Chains A and B, each alone.
Chain A
Amino acid sequence: MFSTAMLMAILPELLLLVVALLVLVMELVWKGEDGRKLGWLAFGGLILTLGVSVFVAVPSFGRPVFGGMIRYDLLGFIFKMLFIFGAAMTALFMMDSEKLGQRGESYILLITATIGMNLMASANDLIMLYLAIETTSIPMYILAGFMRDNEKSTEAGFKYLLFGAMTSAIMLYGFSLIFGFTGSTALTAITGFSMPMAVGIILLIAVGVGFKISLAPFHFWAPDVYEGAPTPISGFLSTASKAAGFAVVMRLFIGLFPDGQYAHMWTLTLAILASLSMTLGNLVALRQTNIKRMLAYSSIAHAGYALVGAVSLSELGVGSVTFYLMAYVMTNLAAFGIVAAFSRVAGSDEIADYAGMSRRAPGLALAMLVAFLSLTGMPPFGGFVAKVFVFAAAVKADMIWLAVVGVLNSIIGVYYYLTVLKVVYLYRMEGENESEHPITLTRPYAIALTVLSAAILLIGIVFAPWFNIASNAASNLF
Chain B
Amino acid sequence: MNFPILSVIIFTPLVAALILLMMPEDRKREIRVVALAAGAFAMLLSLWVYIQYLTQGLTGYQFVEKYDWLPQFGISLHLGVDGISTPLVLLTGIVMFTGVIISLGIDDRPREFFAFLFILASGVFGVFVALDLFMLFFFYEIAVFPMYLLIAIWGWVKTREYAAMKLTLYLFVGSVIALVGALAMYFTSGMHTFDMLMLETANFPAAFQIRWFLPVFLGFAVLGGIWPFHNWSPDGHVAAPTAVSMFHAGVLMKLGAFAALRVGIMLLPAGAKYWSPLILSLATVNVVYGAFIAMTQTDLKYMIGFSSVSHMGLVVLGFATLTPDGMTGAGVQMFSHGAMTALFFAATGMVYDRAHTRKIPELGGMAKALPYVAITFIIGGLVSMGMPGFSGFVAEFPIFMGVWQVRPWTAILAAVSIVITAAYIMLAVRRTFFGDMPEKFEGHIGPISVMDKVALTLLSALMITLGLFPGVMVPMVQSGVENVLRLLGGA
Contact B161 A426 (CB under 8 A): yes
Within 8 A of A (CB), among B129-166: 134, 137-139, 141-142, 144-145, 148-149, 152-153, 161, 164-165
Say if the beta carbon of A42 comes within 8 Å of chain B. no
CA A384 – CA B186 in complex, angstroms? 18
Indicate with 1 or 0, residue by residue over A438-478, a CB within 8 angstroms of chain B CB atoms: 00000000000000000000000001100110010000000
CA A379 – CA B148 in complex, angstroms? 14
Tell me which residues across on chain A come within 8 A of B138, comparing CB atoms: 379-380, 384
User: Which A residues are closer than 8 A to B by beta carbons?
Assistant: 358, 362, 366, 373, 376, 378-380, 384, 388, 391-392, 395-396, 400, 403-404, 407-408, 410-411, 414-415, 418-419, 421-422, 425-426, 463-464, 467-468, 471
Contact A467 B73 (CB under 8 A): yes
Using known A-B contacts A396-B187, A464-B69, determine if residue A378 contacts B145 with beta carbons closer than 8 Å: yes
Contact A426 B183 (CB under 8 A): no
Tell me which residues across on chain A come within 8 A of B176, comparing CB atoms: 407-408, 410-411
Tell me which residues across on chain A come within 8 A of B177, comparing CB atoms: 407
Tell me which residues across on chain A come within 8 A of B142, comparing CB atoms: 378-380
Give the most central of B68, B73, B109, B134: most A CB within 10 Å: B73
Contact B21 A414 (CB under 8 A): no
Interface residues in B, total, Cβ within 8 A: 38
State the majority secondary structure of interface residues on B.
helix
Tell me which residues across on chain A come within 8 A of B139, comparing CB atoms: 379
Tell me which residues across on chain B come within 8 A of A418, comparing CB atoms: 148, 165, 168
Tell me which residues across on chain B come within 8 A of A408, comparing CB atoms: 176
Contact B168 A422 (CB under 8 A): no
User: Which B residues are closer than 8 A to A by beta carbons?
Assistant: 21, 25, 68-73, 75, 109, 112, 134, 137-139, 141-142, 144-145, 148-149, 152-153, 161, 164-165, 168-169, 172-173, 176-177, 179-180, 183-184, 186-187
Enumerate 17 A-B pairs (CB-CB under 8 Å) in ascending A order: A378-B141, A380-B142, A384-B141, A388-B137, A388-B183, A395-B180, A395-B184, A395-B186, A395-B187, A407-B176, A410-B176, A415-B165, A418-B165, A425-B153, A464-B70, A464-B72, A471-B72
Tell me which residues across on chain A come within 8 A of B183, comparing CB atoms: 388, 391-392, 395, 403
Contact B168 A414 (CB under 8 A): yes
CA A410 – CA B179 in complex, angstroms? 13
* Partner of B172 from A414, A421, A468 at Cβ < 8 Å: A414
CA A358 – CA B152 in complex, angstroms? 14
Contact A422 B152 (CB under 8 A): yes
CA A384 – CA B180 in complex, angstroms? 14
CA A362 – CA B180 in complex, angstroms? 36
Contact A407 B179 (CB under 8 A): yes
CA A410 – CA B168 in complex, angstroms? 12
Give the most central of A376, A418, A467, A468: most B CB within 10 Å: A418
CA A392 – CA B75 in complex, angstroms? 13
Tell me which residues across on chain B come within 8 A of A379, comparing CB atoms: 137-139, 141-142
Give B255 Cβ to nearest chain A Cβ, in Å: 15
Tell me which residues across on chain B come within 8 A of A395, comparing CB atoms: 180, 183-184, 186-187
CA A411 – CA B175 in complex, angstroms? 10
